[in-house]
């Protein structure tokens, strides 16, 4: 479990990297699992950041981490967009596809 505030950022980055790796191999189950991990970590970060601030030397590291997370997120969205569109079509009964 992360001990310092910066550790939450690092853990979120790690989960987003794992989510990207899963998206690259079309492992939607793992993508969703790591998305859940990120959500929990983000909530923990929000709570913890009320009581703790980053040290000055950690702020630049946070900026680098956030840039990597945003790049990962953009690529994940690019990779998963076709899956989500297909899922929406299935759920809406689009076309003559049948869900078994």
pLDDT at 99 over 50: no
Average pLDDT over residues 8-19: 98
Give the residue extent of every domain in the chain: 5-91
Grouping H, G, I as helix, E, B as strand and the rest as coil, residue 74 is: helix
Q: What is the CATH number of domain 5-91?
A: 1.20.58.380
DSSP state, 96? T
Confidence band of 12 (pLDDT split at 50, 70, 90): very high
57 to each of 16, 43, 61, 64, 81, how far by Cα in Å? 23, 23, 7, 12, 37
* Other beta carbons less than 10 A from residue 76's beta carbon: 20
Element (H, E) at 83: helix 56-91
Which of 65, 96, 76 lies closest to 21 in space, CA to CA?
76
Predicted confidence (pLDDT) per residue in 56-71, tens digit: 999 999 999 999 999 9
pLDDT at 95: 53
């Amino acid at each position: 479990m992360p001990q310092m505030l910066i550790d939450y950022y690092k853990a979120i980055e790690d989960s987003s990297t794992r989510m990207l790796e899963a998206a690259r191999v079309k492992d939607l189950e793992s993508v969703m699992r790591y998305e859940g991990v990120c959500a929990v970590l983000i909530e923990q970060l929000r709570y913890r950041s009320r009581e703790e601030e980053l040290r000055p030397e950690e702020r630049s590291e946070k900026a680098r981490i956030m840039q990597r997370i945003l790049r990962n997120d953009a690529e994940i969205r690019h990779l998963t967009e076709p899956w989500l569109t297909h899922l929406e079509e299935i759920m809406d009964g689009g076309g003559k596809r049948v869900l078994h």
